[in-house]
């Protein structure tokens, strides 16, 4: 190539570099602060690693309820599950508070899914045998938490270019996390007095977050309590049936999705009979899949 041709390429390359740079700058304006995000992720992952490598003697609390002895084990995994949930919720709030647009506004709805994610992942990591599987789960947990924090940040601002994509992604991730929770609870073979509150809390948080993602929807606590009560009763019945962990998760996930769909349709003014069609079809599909994996 001649020197003349090389000189003619210089302006073109400069123009391309400017376009790429401006595009990167434009995208970075719609993402959370990199330093804050790195600090939050580092603290959470450090807590997960500490729970695996730092082992302290646990303590069993003897709880007697209506003449029934319920031993409750408090150990490092229990403390870390609570710790990372609080850290992740506080981290999500810190990322959002870095923007002056949200000054004086509540960010509580954006704490729910990050806190739920950190809690569920801590349960999953605690019940995964240490080895290559644990390290893969650890890496997957880091990527999932990162995706959720970025998605929550993007969904908080309507002018954000990723707002619509983030809203859809958060709905999918919420249902996916509830499925992971149900599979983990069933796979760990927890007793009913431990599995029941875990499913109840998970269904309440998941239903709440999905409802709050519906545009400018207000939180309706009684509807969430109704969903939680229904799922908890079904989970208690499935606890004593010969159902696999995946089948157990699909049964509960289908019911959660159908109930959310039904309530959302009612809130939009549809008649109860018409609103029930799609949820019932969806529920039948999920429960058929659950029976196939029974």
Q: Measuring CA to CA, how many Å separate 64 from each of 69, 72, 158, 201, 289? A: 5, 10, 50, 22, 39
Do 101 and 187 lie in one domain? The reply is: no
- Provide the β-strand partners of residue 65: 68
Residue 15 lies in a domain: no
Q: Domain count for the chain, please give it.
A: 2
Do 214 and 143 lie in one domain? The reply is: no
Residue 263 lies in a domain: yes
The two three-digit tokens of residue 258, written as one number? 């159908």
d(CA 209, CA 109): 7
Q: Measuring CA to CA, how many Å separate 193 from each of 63, 67, 71? A: 11, 14, 10
Residue in the block written with tokens 């506080």: 90
- Which residues, including other chains, have CB under 8 Å from residue 133's CB and lie 6 or more apart? none
d(CA 198, CA 107): 24
The two three-digit tokens of residue 144, written as one number? 């999932």
Q: Measuring CA to CA, how many Å separate 32 from each of 28, 104, 151, 160, 169? A: 8, 19, 10, 11, 17
pLDDT given for residue 9 in this prediction: 45
Residue 284 lies in a domain: yes
The last residue of a domain, from among 157, 188, 223: 157
Write out the residue range of the structural domain in which residue 192 sits. 162-294
Residue 37 lies in a domain: yes
pLDDT given for residue 230 in this prediction: 92
DSSP 8-state secondary structure symbol assigned to residue 214: S
d(CA 88, CA 118): 7
Residue 22 lies in a domain: no
DSSP 8-state secondary structure symbol assigned to residue 102: G
Residue 112 lies in a domain: yes
Do 153 and 168 lie in one domain? The reply is: no
Do 168 and 250 lie in one domain? The reply is: yes
The last residue of a domain, from among 157, 172, 204: 157
Do 172 and 151 lie in one domain? The reply is: no
> Collapsing DSSP states into helix, strand and coil, what is residue 60?
strand
d(CA 253, CA 290): 10
Do 250 and 171 lie in one domain? The reply is: yes
Determine contact, residues 175/160, Cβ cutoff 8 Å: no
Do 90 and 178 lie in one domain? The reply is: no
pLDDT given for residue 7 in this prediction: 47
Residue 10 lies in a domain: no
Do 221 and 189 lie in one domain? The reply is: yes
| Nearest one of 103, 92, 100 to 44, comparing CA atoms | 92
Do 148 and 167 lie in one domain? The reply is: no
pLDDT given for residue 217 in this prediction: 62
d(CA 288, CA 256): 15
Burial of 104 (0-12, 13-18, 19+ CB in 10 A): exposed
d(CA 187, CA 245): 6
d(CA 138, CA 116): 16
Residue 235 lies in a domain: yes
Do 190 and 132 lie in one domain? The reply is: no
Phi, then psi, of 205 in degrees rounded to 5: -65, -45
Number of H helices and number of E strands within the chain?
A: 11, 2
Determine contact, residues 101/43, Cβ cutoff 8 Å: no
Regions in the chain scoring below 70 on pLDDT: 1-30, 55-75, 98-106, 160, 215-217, 294
């Amino acid at each position: 190539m001649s020197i003349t041709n090389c000189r003619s390429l210089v302006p073109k390359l400069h123009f391309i570099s400017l376009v790429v740079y401006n595009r990167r700058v434009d995208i970075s304006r719609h993402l959370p602060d990199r330093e804050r995000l790195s600090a939050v992720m580092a603290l959470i992952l450090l807590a997960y690693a500490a729970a695996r490598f730092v082992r302290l003697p646990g303590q069993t609390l003897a709880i007697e309820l209506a003449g029934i002895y319920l031993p409750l084990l408090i150990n490092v995994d229990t403390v870390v599950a609570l710790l990372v949930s609080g850290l992740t919720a506080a981290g999500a709030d810190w990322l959002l508070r870095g923007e002056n647009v949200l000054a004086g506004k509540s960010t509580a709805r954006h704490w729910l899914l990050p806190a739920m994610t950190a809690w569920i992942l801590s349960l999953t990591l605690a019940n995964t045998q240490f080895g290559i599987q644990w390290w893969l789960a650890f890496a997957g947990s880091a990527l999932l938490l990162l995706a959720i924090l970025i998605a929550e940040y993007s969904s908080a601002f309507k002018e954000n270019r990723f707002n619509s994509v983030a809203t859809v992604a958060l709905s999918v991730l919420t249902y996916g996390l509830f499925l992971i929770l149900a599979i983990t609870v069933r796979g760990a073979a927890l007793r009913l007095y431990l599995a029941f509150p875990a499913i109840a809390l998970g269904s309440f948080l998941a239903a709440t977050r999905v409802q709050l993602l519906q545009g400018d929807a207000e939180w309706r606590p009684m509807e969430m309590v109704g969903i939680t009560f229904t799922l908890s009763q079904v989970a208690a019945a499935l606890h004593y049936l010969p159902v696999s962990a995946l089948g157990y998760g699909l049964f509960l996930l289908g019911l959660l999705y159908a109930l959310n769909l039904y309530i959302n349709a009612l809130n939009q003014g549809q008649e109860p009979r018409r609103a029930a069609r799609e949820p019932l079809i969806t529920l039948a599909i999920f429960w058929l899949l659950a029976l196939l994996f029974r």
